[in-house]
A and B are shown apart, each in its own frame.
Chain A
Amino acid sequence: MSTTTSTSTPTTMAPASTSALNASRTTATAARVLRQLRHDPRTIALMILIPCVMLFLLRYVFDGSQRTFDNIGASLLGIFPLITMFLVTSIATLRERTSGTLERLLAMPLGKADLIAGYALAFGALAIVQSALATGLAVWALGLDVTGSAWLLLLVALLDALLGTALGLFVSAFASSEFQAVQFMPAVIFPQLLLCGLFTPRPNMHPVLEGISNVLPMSYAVDGMNEVLLHTDVTANFIRDVLVVAACALLVLTLGAATLRRRTA
């Protein structure tokens, strides 16, 4: 009558709402993640200060050509949150997996969506602080010349951070140690970095590479930043870029959720 069969777990008819998003459990998870970070002020300082220092450095590397700084600076404002959140999330999730807390949580009435949304919320909040500081520094102190609204820069930066969180969550499922998790950074992020149009406009690349760059989400993050840089109003291209980044983040988050298994070998 009640044979428990292998891998799949029944998630239907759950009165404790294990599949739908539960607001209290999500915010409790986000608060817990932020509390963990608060006990680690050095990580917070590194996350928030390093983008600012890099932008500062960049400004004077391109001391003679303000135009180059505008281009690269705007792109980097989109790339920093992605990289930081990728790293932080992949390590944090890996720790959940290896410390047994993930197994414990999934044996409790916590929905996978609650856990993922909690992480996204916590790191999203951190990304807002990081991006606001970096954008503010670039626009007001370093003279980054943005034609559009700085708020739009911030919006793209936030979406990039969510994309980074999603990617980090996803790859942590394939890493069994922190060494491996860190190595996923060059594997997942560097190719996108090379192909996103940061070093040379994408149309100038070999057609094959341009084709590949068309399906990499970071390309759209950088394009979106450049749209804001060059246009006063919200262009159709900007909307497309933002939607692509958001859709990618959602897609990868869903894939990441699929890697969280209640039953494991």
Chain B
Amino acid sequence: MMNYASGQPREGAPQTEGAPGSAGAPAVRAEGLTVVRGPRTVLRGLDFTVPRGQVTGLLGPSGCGKSTLMRAIVGTQAKVTGTLDVLGRPAGHPTLRTRIGYVTQAPSVYDDLTIRQNLDYFAAILDPGRASAERRHENVTQAIADVDLTSHADALAGNLSGGQRSRVSLAVALLGTPELLVLDEPTVGLDPVLRRDLWNLFHSIAAERGATLLISSHVMDEAERCHRLLLMREGEILADDTPDALRHRTDSETVEAAFLRLVDEAVAAGRTKETTR
């Protein structure tokens, strides 16, 4: 593997190879994963793994099946066939519900509650009972601080800007220190400073808590910040590799160029298949 200076995950992310949790079984393992939505086959027999304790980027153009794949992993997608193991259990297993944090693409929070009230409620669902009230309070305060919204804690979610609301949604997923975080485009519509801060947060969550993060994006420059990449197109996985290896293999300067090259190759291969048919 070549080592470009820029090839390391940026923003001070420590390499977590060999960190606790990265050993042993992968966080997510899919074999022949297929999802049908209505008349369309959205995911076509995917095989891949997501290693533990790392930040894996899920990249591809919009409509390629990223969100469906994420919903399948958290167990909210219907009509999933094939094998899909998450943290050693079949996806959607009830015991996984406290171990996975999930952020949908559109912020899913109550607009008519304040930030703190939103988090208090979701924390009470994850960790119910009066005995854990103290721990819940700390958790909520920490999650609000993690997404840099402490000064807005008592503002109604409905009165926040789009970027702030999506950060509230992210804070909910951080509650209860999940082992696997599935984040569907968490940085969409955020300014560069916030995006950098959030990516630093993602890396520190992976490094300090040994958590696994699966983060989707259609912004290719974010790919450089991931340990591993899954490149998707039209319900199929084009590549499953480190950013370094991808650039090296395709002889490209950036992941974006690598992705475009892979797409061109796939399209060309599809054409020749059609013409020879």
Contacts and interface: CB of A to CB of B under 8 A. Distances in A.
Contact of A28 (B77, B110, B128): B128
Contacts of A29: 121, 125
Interface in B50-109: 74-85, 89-95, 97-98, 100, 102, 104, 106-109
Nearest to B37: A265
A2 B89 contact: yes
Contacts of B74: 107
Looking at B89, B97, B104, the one whose CB has the most chain A CB atoms below 10 A away is B97
A18 interface: yes
Contact of B126 (A7, A32, A108): A108
Contacts of B93: 10
B95 A14 contact: yes
Contact of A10 (B84, B92, B129): B92
A36 B75 contact: no
Contact of A99 (B75, B111, B125): B111
A9 B125 contact: no
B78 A6 contact: yes
A4 B83 contact: yes
A243 B11 CA distance: 65
Given A7-B79, A101-B108, A110 B125 contact: yes
Given A11-B94, A16-B94, A100-B104, A24 B128 contact: yes
B186 to A, nearest CB: 14
Given A16-B97, A104-B104, A261-B78, A25 B113 contact: no
Contacts of A18: 94, 97
A36 B114 CA distance: 9
B48 interface: no
B95 A16 contact: yes
A99 B79 CA distance: 22
Interface residues on B, range: 35 or more
Query: By CB atoms of chain B within 10 A, which of A18, A25, A101, A107 has the most?
Result: A107
Given A4-B84, A10-B93, A104-B172, A109 B124 contact: no
B38 interface: yes
A25 B122 CA distance: 10
A32 B76 contact: no
> Which of B94, B100, B109, B156 counts the most A-chain CB atoms under 10 A from its CB?
B94
Give the one of B74, B122, B156 with max A CB within 10 A.
B122
A263 B83 contact: no
A186 interface: no
Interface string A1-34: 1111111011101111010001011001101100
Which DSSP category, helix, strand, loop or mixed, fits chain A's interface? loop
A194 interface: no
Contacts of A105: 125
B117 interface: yes
Given A108-B122, A263-B75, A13 B94 contact: yes
A22 B130 CA distance: 13
Contact of A109 (B82, B90, B94): B94
B113 A39 contact: yes
Contacts of A265: 37-38, 77-79
Contacts of A104: 102, 104, 108, 122, 172
A233 B97 CA distance: 51
A2 B38 contact: no
A7 B35 CA distance: 11
A9 B75 contact: yes
Contacts of B121: 28-29, 31-32, 35
Interface string B119-147: 00110111011100000000000000000
B118 to A, nearest CB: 9
Interface in B183-232: none
B152 to A, nearest CB: 16
A15 B89 CA distance: 14
A11 B97 CA distance: 11
A100 B108 contact: yes
A25 B97 contact: no
A262 B76 contact: yes
Contact of A264 (B78, B113, B122): B78
A263 B124 contact: no
16 contacts: A2-B84, A3-B82, A4-B83, A6-B79, A6-B80, A9-B94, A24-B124, A29-B125, A36-B112, A103-B104, A103-B108, A106-B76, A108-B97, A108-B122, A110-B125, A263-B92
Given A4-B82, A99-B109, A265-B37, 10 more contacts: A4-B83, A10-B92, A10-B93, A32-B110, A100-B108, A103-B104, A105-B125, A107-B74, A107-B75, A262-B76
Interface of A: 1-7, 9-11, 13-16, 18, 22, 24-25, 28-29, 31-32, 35-36, 39-40, 99-101, 103-110, 261-265
